[in-house]
Amino acid sequence: ETGVTQSPTHLIKTRGQQVTLRCSSQSGHNTVSWYQQALGQGPQFIFQYYREEENGRGNFPPRFSGLQFPNYSSELNVNALELDDSALYLCASSSRGSIQYFGAGTRLSVL
C-alpha cells in the first residue's frame, strides 16, 4: 500500500508566476485536503476535494484553486504568486473521515 506522494519536492518561482502542485492519494482514499504551512506556523486548511468536487474551503483567495481526478489524485494551482505564498504545501488523503494522512509536502519559494 503506497502512502501519499507529492511532487515536486521543491520549487522556486518568481512573483506573478503560476504554479501547479500534485498529490497522489493513499490507496483506498477518496478525499484529498490541501494545507499551507508557513514558517513557524501550523498547517492551515486551503480546501478539500471529495469525489472530484470541492467540499469546503478555508480563508484563501480565489487564485488558489484545485482539481481532483477520477483516480482521486489532486492538483493545487496558485496564480499570480506573491512573496507570502512561500510555504510548505501539504496534501492529506482520507477515506471520508477525520484521520488524514499527509504527504511530505512541496516547499515553494517565491522570489
Partner 1 sequence: DQQVKQNSPSLSVQEGRISILNCDYTNSMFDYFLWYKKYPAEGPTFLISISSIKDKNEDGRFTVFLNKSAKHLSLHIVPSQPGDSAVYFCAASEVGGSNYKLTFGKGTLLTVNP
Q: Residues with Cβ < 8 Å from 97, sequence gap 6 or more?
A: none
- 52 contacts partner 1 (rule: CB under 8 A): no
**Least distance in angstroms from the C-beta of 82 to partner 1:** 22
Closer to partner 1 by Cβ: residue 18 or 27: 27
- 76 contacts partner 1 (rule: CB under 8 A): no
Sole binder of partner 1 in the list 40, 62, 70, 71 (CB under 8 A): 40
Closer to partner 1 by Cβ: residue 40 or 62: 40
Number of residues that bind partner 1 (CB under 8 A): 29
Annotate the chain with DSSP letters as a single string. Answer: ----EEE-SEEEE-TT--EEEEEEPPTT--EEEEEEE-TTS--EEEEEEETTEEEEE-S--TTEEEEE-TTS-EEEEE-S--GGG-EEEEEEEESSSS--EE---EEEEE-
Residue ranges that bind partner 1, judged by CB under 8 A: 4, 6, 31, 33, 35, 40-45, 48, 50, 55-56, 58, 90, 92, 94, 96-105
